[in-house]
Chains A and B, each alone.
Chain A
Amino acid sequence: MLEVKDIHVYYDAIHALKGVSLEVREGEIVTLIGANGAGKTTTLRAIMGLNPPREGAVVYAGQDVAKLDTPGRVGAGLILCPEGRQIFANLTVHENLRIGAFLRRDVARIERDIDEVYGFFPRLRERDKQLGGTLSGGEQQMLAMGRAMLSSPKMLLLDEPSMGLAPLFVKQIFEMIETIRSRGTTILLVEQNAHAALKIADRAYVMETGVITLSGPAAELAANPEVRDAYLGV
């Protein structure tokens, strides 16, 4: 469903991605783990066209997406729930969800889907009319996930959805990810919480300073001594 082929991304002189390749097949949850600054966020941004690769290609649903700008990719069902949530602080909770559905034409179903998100996250329903900026970190993450769901993603990229959250929230977020997958959305999950990520993922990639160093079935990587040492803290 998504294939990243040997991409190189630069920030001015910094060579942030040095030939990254990975693949996510339809219906999978694939996780990309790695230390801070490894290039995970850059990979997701490259896929979305926010930092277009200087070399290499991103193929989504059988098509090279180089010609599509970011909104074009969103229109094709490729959705990023970005690092740091990026909630619109000046829009209400309800409006944040509505704007997630910006490109949808099935207007009649949008309110129903919002109601469903509220079913998952009752705290959001209570704060329906509050500005996004007034929510706590955990609530903002729920809102960011809800907003991404409202975009009807075919392929969802999640960038550190559990970052900085209390354990109770982390649990809810991971349950949510499994629910989204069970409805047929393919997921590429970037996580610092390697433990939880490897538990729900089918396959995993490990990234170090701009290159993929390991890959394989998630269970296999979870058992790999190097991974356990570096990322699972055991």
Chain B
Amino acid sequence: MEYLLDQLLNGLSLGCIYAFIALGYTMVYGIIKLINFAHGEFFMVGAFAGYFVLSAAGIEAIGLPEPLPMILAFGIAMLAAALSSGVLAVIVERLAYRPLMGSSRIAALLTALGVSLFLQNVGIQVFSAEQRGYPEARRYIDLDDAADYVGQTFPGLAYATFTVTSPTGKDSEVREILAGPDKALTADAVAELKYKKDADGEPVGGFYVSSPFSHTAKTLIVIVSLALSFGLLWLLVHRTQFGRAMRAVSYNPEAAKLMGIQSTRVISMTFFVGAFLAGIGGIIWGMRYGKIEPFMGFMPGLKAFIAAVIGGIGSIPGAVFGGILLGVLEVLIPAYLPSEYSGYKDAVAFIALIAILLYRPQGLFGRFEGEKV
């Protein structure tokens, strides 16, 4: 029973991330009928933006009471992730998709695939292909206060970072572990730290204690973020002038023009909002699964696309439902199959896709677009 509950929560949080990505797929499809295969890369860029913000020290050093620095750092990183994805999407739409408006669907689809590959390769150039461990939230302890912590153990790690110059003349950051869950902080380690200097001669000055979110807390963060985002998105779509314009353009672009709506602006904004959500998905993925790399957008992007189709592409509640359903199935089914089948985890999504295309091609929440223009 407890096993089932655990697996259910795991599936739920995976599904929430799929939902974050699926929302952008479905919104963009809804408005310009384009399957934006580069959407997974927006998610990837969001994850990296969050990575860099969380890695940059600063917030921990302000000296706010715990756990505020952690929450603040995470909040800022999330915003940075969302904004980076959103801005990237606006640029991609402007440069790659808008010039194709009015051309065939297949041309747009191939362009989207091309943009996806292009962004993956830019990712390798800029971030390098190596996998990176996602930074845990951490707090900073000044050497002056270090005496108070001598003799303690830490649920995360206590470590100092400093830069060293390698023989080739390149600076790189090294991390020295001082203490951990089963190794208490010693007075010697603290004393030694006083003499450590960065490559530029600056004394190290203090150390970090990583304070990881617990597994349950992470699951909770994922679910609450999705619920909040979905609620706000619903308000945006149904209660604002932009939302009305978005639905109008999606239904009949020409009639929307006759209302004075600049459809290019609405489309651009739709890309922004969709990618904004994917960026949040990206940082949540990093936090939840701990590893990121430039190809990370491919599989989750594909799964999220399948989720959007299952939910009924173009439907916002459908994307959320499809994402969660797929995540739960993908975790639960292999969990109850004999272990030799665990390698077939990814097959679940494709089987679900085939089933839905056979029995309900418009998706669970989709409608056949009868008289729609």
Q: Which residues in A have some Cβ–Cβ distance to B below 8 Å?
A: 48, 50, 69-71, 74-75, 79-80, 82, 86, 88-91, 95, 98-100, 102-103, 133, 147, 151
Contacting pair A71 B371 (CB below 8 A): no
What are 25 A-B residue pairs whose CB atoms fall within 8 Å in the complex?
A: A48-B258, A50-B254, A70-B257, A74-B257, A74-B258, A86-B252, A86-B254, A86-B255, A86-B258, A88-B247, A88-B252, A89-B371, A90-B251, A91-B247, A91-B248, A95-B244, A99-B245, A99-B248, A102-B241, A102-B261, A103-B259, A103-B260, A133-B371, A147-B259, A151-B260
A6 to B113, CA, bound (A): 47
Q: Tell whether A91 pairs with B258 under 8 Å between CB atoms, given A99-B244, A133-B371.
A: no
Q: Does B229 contact A (CB under 8 A)?
A: no
Contacting pair A88 B260 (CB below 8 A): no
**Residues of chain A contacted by B241 (CB below 8 angstroms):** 98, 102
Most chain A CB within a 10 A radius of its CB, from B247, B258, B261, B371? B258
Contacting pair B251 A80 (CB below 8 A): no
Q: Tell whether A70 pairs with B244 under 8 Å between CB atoms, given A86-B252, A89-B371, A89-B372.
A: no
A103 to B265, CA, bound (A): 14
Which residue on chain B has the smallest CB distance to residue A87? B255
**Residues of chain B contacted by A89 (CB below 8 angstroms):** 251, 371-372
Contacting pair A50 B257 (CB below 8 A): yes
Min C-beta distance of A228 to chain B, whole Å: 34
A169 to B245, CA, bound (A): 29
New A-B contacts (11) at CB < 8 Å, excluding given A71-B262, A89-B372: A50-B254, A70-B257, A71-B261, A74-B260, A82-B255, A90-B247, A98-B244, A99-B248, A99-B261, A102-B260, A133-B371
**Residues of chain B contacted by A103 (CB below 8 angstroms):** 259-260
Most chain B CB within a 10 A radius of its CB, from A82, A86, A103, A151? A86
A199 to B252, CA, bound (A): 34
**Residues of chain A contacted by B250 (CB below 8 angstroms):** 90
Contacting pair A91 B259 (CB below 8 A): no
Q: List residues 216-262 of chain B with CB under 8 A from any CB of chain A.
A: 241, 244-245, 247-248, 250-252, 254-262
> What are the 10 A-B residue pairs with the smallest beta carbon separation, nearest first?
A74-B260, A103-B260, A86-B255, A70-B257, A71-B260, A102-B259, A90-B251, A102-B260, A99-B244, A88-B251
Contacting pair B255 A75 (CB below 8 A): no
Contacting pair B257 A91 (CB below 8 A): no
Contacting pair B371 A99 (CB below 8 A): no
A196 to B43, CA, bound (A): 60
Min C-beta distance of B261 to chain A, whole Å: 6
A70, A90, A98, A133: the one contacting B258 at CB < 8 Å is: A70
A50 to B263, CA, bound (A): 14
A99 to B266, CA, bound (A): 14
Q: Tell whether A80 pairs with B372 under 8 Å between CB atoms, given A88-B248, A88-B252, A99-B248.
A: no
A50 to B250, CA, bound (A): 18
Which residue on chain A has the smallest CB distance to residue B258? A80
A50, A69, A133, A151: the one contacting B259 at CB < 8 Å is: A151
Min C-beta distance of B312 to chain A, whole Å: 14
Min C-beta distance of B80 to chain A, whole Å: 33
A80 to B259, CA, bound (A): 9
Min C-beta distance of B78 to chain A, whole Å: 32
A133 to B251, CA, bound (A): 11
Min C-beta distance of A157 to chain B, whole Å: 10
A103 to B247, CA, bound (A): 16
Contacting pair A75 B260 (CB below 8 A): yes
**Residues of chain B contacted by A75 (CB below 8 angstroms):** 260
A70 to B256, CA, bound (A): 10
**Residues of chain A contacted by B372 (CB below 8 angstroms):** 89
**Residues of chain B contacted by A95 (CB below 8 angstroms):** 244, 247
Contacting pair B251 A91 (CB below 8 A): yes
**Residues of chain A contacted by B260 (CB below 8 angstroms):** 71, 74-75, 102-103, 151
**Residues of chain A contacted by B258 (CB below 8 angstroms):** 48, 70, 74, 79-80, 82, 86
**Residues of chain B contacted by A70 (CB below 8 angstroms):** 257-258
A71 to B264, CA, bound (A): 11
A98 to B248, CA, bound (A): 11
